[in-house]
Structure 1
């Protein structure tokens, strides 16, 4: 290896060692709450995690659609700040939601797709091998879970949406042929067949094709009062999208407005007054207004929303009219405006990205005031406490302020959005698999605040610094540590093999090849490891089978970036009884290492790749060269049950270790002093007495408040929120 190593021969004081079995304990004295979603699910409701498109009915009912919601609310129905319904059967068994939606007086038309799950589904309901069907599902407005079948309809023969799917395009499974725009009257349905560069017109009642005409990669469609079509077109053009205007027969009109430079049009809608509104997801983050001038052309008539949206002045501060990733707009008959956002904008072609969290807002245009807002802000996203303030909580891209005096579900306020895709397009998170930062670790050292984040399965460690005076709430990309190269062509300069790191040496937040340091000789030994950052800022990497490495912080550079080197790294050998390490937490203040993993008695196998393991152990005097194995405990573990009982995450705070189970909605609590299990916490009735899987390696965190209470945060993979437990030890 290129770096100097210190392989520490671990000796263990085994005499009198306490081995604690997993035993059932009495229920702890705790309450359940949540962060990041307007609904807790105790009432059967949740705000969906993404909204790619909306359609607004005259009475103000909003119909939303997205390709994916973890609990099946790809189609959601909202009115007056409440959720009314979920459109079923767009999730699983080959079904997925979509990127467009429209309504008329009777029906909801929602874009969706039907696949065959890697050729595993066969029969008339599914496309042939290596193919996907893209099209439209027709539902009843009176019951969006109920299909409205038609003679040529296909699909879903075993559920309530039987024969209600219109196949618009059959494409190879590697092709993104999604319908990107829909509009409807009571007589005609207009469908943007984006991949085939055409708009197809169907009879809205019989769903028979009437005609089609050419439009370059069309997206959203708005119908004018005169029956003409206004279209976001050129969705896949390198030069960017523009606005087109067409008669219903496809005849092009030449009066569409030329958009300002930098505009990224994502949706368009007409207000009852006849004014055209165009959502701009470019740097302006506004809704551009156009009115018909005396010369017959469409002329700019102002804009709605704060220029630069959430990034205006104090960057990353949410608020009224501060838009962030506009995906859909619409008006009701009273003139109220509805705006959908996901912190990203429309789903990029060829990806399955779901944005940075959904926000759906309504504004009363007369008073220009907020009517209502719904949030679904987290997905596959953990949360962590600011070590200086337990009322300050960060996720990968959000900051929440907590007021513990409020009732459950009302304690959180969305206080900051920390990812600025315009100022820092090289943020490594934007180039990762999900396009999101993931699990946070918040640290303060040298008097400054830092954010470290892990991707879903801990392959990469992102490093961020803060500069409130210049960047407000935004976390500035500062560094990146990779166990192996990223797939694809980003960044230029990364090695083809082995681990590497980047530090923002010039302070511009961009990744340059000359700022990358590689360490290819360790590529095979550090892969699939688990990162941990301790309080002083040292970076630890638990390799599965080669022990634990520490990379001590080498201070901050001139731009305030933490510095690490491979040469200064220290290696610690695999400690008994483990033969595979899955998770670690190192407490620097007491020189204590907590480890979970596998042993010879319960060995690891490939089917347990996500698990934290069946054994938890504490080691004292870890860095001394002669650490002491103080205790080890058996964790809940039953891989033959249904559901399986396994572990996935660990957090340590005060005198307790908190273990998150993977498939079962439970957090188990152990005493750090003895290893004894003291009890468990499960979701309360106000969150539906359930939660989704903890589907990330670092899905749990904990803190002890000044009053002695413990607060535990757990990813809820199912319903776009963070589960929060507040526990008062007996």
Structure 2
């Protein structure tokens, strides 16, 4: 829906629209209502009824769909059916999961890491194996269990796969071409983080995944007896925001572990995005924090707010936490969508939330004492060895900005800039105390947040930090590269309780806690508030969005056609809100 505010007092000039990214559905409302729909945060268990009705359970859903009910690619409410996919009865005989074994009349020892059980209409045992195979296993259990069939690409998302035939478009998803899918490139046959399996009376196969990427995929046989998609339900975003690839005019967007491709010509809310790649491989990199629930999510939310940067032509992913608690760096592998752990900067005595200081991540961390540690993947294995840590004499700052050259700006007065000293032999960015610049700023006493706008040669400063921005004043330092270090006051932040800001072109965009996904826009030149943007009713309105409560919960990019894309974290419905704003009302192209 396009909203035009031209001529109205104190409202945003031009036109804007609202959409979402990362969830199949995005209409807010009560979880039991059939007029609202979203894919839940996690699917810890799934069972499928003979008619194809799907029941799920979840350890957490921010909007309280802990017990999802789905059928034929649609959402049908929230009812606790007290399911248990850890056991199944076949021909009167009970089979159940016991650790990595499946026990029953016989013990199955070769099922990998079984996460869920079900049966086929002809009474084969189905197993969701989340071990190294990442496959669905079919066992004939009429006598001694025998593995007779598998489904899925062996090795999951991190495997190279050549699809021998195309998959036609299906409910909630596009078509997939035949051909090569290198590691990390998404194809529905690549499974990971499996939690359940099922089959209905029509022989349709259902697979549930969770944590890294929550989904329910339903497959059916075509006329050539080949598996194809019937429908898919997806949720890839929870407590995260996306960043754009500036080299593609924001056609490519990245979350902490997702690579989305956008089609901005589409106008249906939620219809612009598709998943191109998944960048985390926990088989190859088991200590990647994106694969460790207590670090990535849990109560820590240590990895949010992706930043994509190119250094010496190589692509890197930087992530910051919900409370700005650490900076993780990942390097993208060649000819792959997988990003390997490459660097980490955090306090040596940082305690993972709700865990003791002895919590074993990162592995082999230095003696726990005050100070800042820098880890770099010296041997290139994406893991954390004791000899790969170094100490920094510069105090840790929770308020980072990553510039376009990979420089890490740490908010304080003086501002410290950890310049990237190039790439090492394994392709990791080099940060050390020998390559730090210090800049004392006049006109402002305390600096809590910093943003460097290279295209404007301007530094934006706030006097409060991370996500605690209430009462913050905004300053600008113009002509930075010419040596100016004097800050000029712009304005105070405009929202009730702001948590996040971003500067793009000549505008400040801000969002906050109680104001949820409402975005307030300020002119940097004049300091004047121009107005705000709100989600449309097609998204459920602002009422059905969450508090923006992460340190970098808003992002923005001006496209070549003059249109601004504004991205806002929305953990309530596990999505990112997308606003498209044209200040003139006449932005062309898509």
TM class by shorter chain equals: 0.7 to 0.9
Query: In the alignment, which residue of structure 2 is the partner of 1:494?
Result: 366
Query: In the alignment, which residue of structure 1 is the partner of 2:448?
Result: 582
Match of 1:565 among 432, 446, 453: 432
Mark the CA change 1:430 to 1:78 in structure 2 (over 3 Å): closer, same or farther: closer
Inter-partner Cα distance in structure 1 for 2:548 and 2:554:
8
Match of 1:632 among 487, 490, 494: 490
Stretch deviating more after TM superposition (628-637 or 647-656): 628-637
Mark the CA change 1:431 to 1:561 in structure 2 (over 3 Å): closer, same or farther: same
> Which structure has the bigger radius of gyration?
1
Inter-partner Cα distance in structure 2 for 1:74 and 1:434:
22
| CA drift at 1:489 | 3.0
Tell me the secondary structure at the aligned position of residue 82 of structure 2: strand
Match of 2:505 among 639, 651, 654: 654
Inter-partner Cα distance in structure 1 for 2:526 and 2:318:
30
Inter-partner Cα distance in structure 1 for 2:468 and 2:123:
54
Q: TM-score, normalised by structure 2?
A: 0.85
Query: In the alignment, which residue of structure 2 is the partner of 1:551?
Result: 418
Mark the CA change 1:72 to 1:709 in structure 2 (over 3 Å): closer, same or farther: same
Q: Is residue 398 of structure 1 aligned with residue 249 of structure 2?
A: no
Tell me the secondary structure at the aligned position of residue 567 of structure 1: helix
List alignment gaps of at least 5 residues for structure 2: 1-8, 29-34, 161-181, 298-302, 352-358, 585-590
Query: In the alignment, which residue of structure 2 is the partner of 1:97?
Result: none
Query: In the alignment, which residue of structure 2 is the partner of 1:687?
Result: 539
Inter-partner Cα distance in structure 2 for 1:589 and 1:565:
27
Tell me the secondary structure at the aligned position of residue 459 of structure 2: strand
Inter-partner Cα distance in structure 2 for 1:367 and 1:612:
57
Inter-partner Cα distance in structure 2 for 1:383 and 1:484:
28
Mark the CA change 1:496 to 1:328 in structure 2 (over 3 Å): closer, same or farther: same
Contact 1:551/1:565, CA 8 A, preserved across alignment: yes
Query: In the alignment, which residue of structure 2 is the partner of 1:706?
Result: 560
Q: TM-score, normalised by structure 1?
A: 0.69
**1:339-488 matches, cutoff 5 A:** 339-342=207-210, 355-365=211-221, 367-389=226-248, 390-407=250-267, 408-430=269-291, 433-435=294-296, 437-469=303-335, 472-487=336-351, 488=359
Mark the CA change 1:446 to 1:360 in structure 2 (over 3 Å): closer, same or farther: same
Query: In the alignment, which residue of structure 2 is the partner of 1:310?
Result: 157
Inter-partner Cα distance in structure 2 for 1:610 and 1:278:
47
**1:19-418 matches, cutoff 5 A:** 24-26=10-12, 28-41=14-27, 43-87=35-79, 108-110=81-83, 182=84, 220-226=86-92, 228-234=93-99, 241-245=100-104, 253=105, 255-259=106-110, 263-292=112-141, 296-313=143-160, 314-342=182-210, 355-365=211-221, 367-389=226-248, 390-407=250-267, 408-418=269-279
Contact 1:452/1:464, CA 8 A, preserved across alignment: yes
Per-residue CA deviation, residues 390-440 of structure 1 (Å, 9 max, x unaligned), is 110000000100001112311101111001111111224445843253211
Runs of 4+ in 1 over 6 A off after TM superposition: none
Per-residue CA deviation, residues 230-282 of structure 1 (Å, 9 max, x unaligned), is 11103xxxxxx11111xxxxxxx3x232216xx11111111111111111101
Contact 1:583/1:612, CA 8 A, preserved across alignment: no
Inter-partner Cα distance in structure 1 for 2:122 and 2:583:
60
Inter-partner Cα distance in structure 1 for 2:318 and 2:121:
48
Contact 2:289/2:295, CA 8 A, preserved across alignment: no
| CA drift at 1:622 | 3.7
Inter-partner Cα distance in structure 2 for 1:484 and 1:466:
26
Per-residue CA deviation, residues 660-694 of structure 1 (Å, 9 max, x unaligned), is 22221311112233332222111111211122111
Inter-partner Cα distance in structure 1 for 2:275 and 2:189:
15
Inter-partner Cα distance in structure 2 for 1:432 and 1:672:
39
Mark the CA change 1:298 to 1:453 in structure 2 (over 3 Å): closer, same or farther: same
Tell me the secondary structure at the aligned position of residue 337 of structure 2: coil
Mark the CA change 1:717 to 1:386 in structure 2 (over 3 Å): closer, same or farther: same
Q: Is residue 513 of structure 1 aligned with residue 386 of structure 2?
A: yes
Tell me the secondary structure at the aligned position of residue 433 of structure 2: coil
Query: In the alignment, which residue of structure 2 is the partner of 1:540?
Result: 409
Per-residue CA deviation, residues 198-246 of structure 1 (Å, 9 max, x unaligned), is xxxxxxxxxxxxxxxxxxxxxx1112131x2111103xxxxxx11111x
Contact 1:38/1:375, CA 8 A, preserved across alignment: yes
Inter-partner Cα distance in structure 1 for 2:451 and 2:126:
51
Q: State how many pairs are aligned.
A: 527
Query: In the alignment, which residue of structure 2 is the partner of 1:187?
Result: none
Per-residue CA deviation, residues 495-543 of structure 1 (Å, 9 max, x unaligned), is 4121100111222211111111013x55xx535x211100111011114
| CA drift at 1:557 | 1.1
Mark the CA change 1:334 to 1:356 in structure 2 (over 3 Å): closer, same or farther: same
Inter-partner Cα distance in structure 1 for 2:560 and 2:12:
25
Mark the CA change 1:578 to 1:34 in structure 2 (over 3 Å): closer, same or farther: farther
Query: In the alignment, which residue of structure 1 is the partner of 2:377?
Result: 504
Mark the CA change 1:432 to 1:481 in structure 2 (over 3 Å): closer, same or farther: farther
RMSD of aligned residue pairs (Cα, Å)? 2.2
Contact 2:323/2:467, CA 8 A, preserved across alignment: no
Contact 2:47/2:118, CA 8 A, preserved across alignment: no
Tell me the secondary structure at the aligned position of residue 548 of structure 2: coil
| CA drift at 1:724 | 0.2
Contact 1:339/1:361, CA 8 A, preserved across alignment: yes
Contact 1:387/1:444, CA 8 A, preserved across alignment: no
Stretch deviating more after TM superposition (34-43 or 361-370): 361-370
Query: In the alignment, which residue of structure 2 is the partner of 1:594?
Result: 460
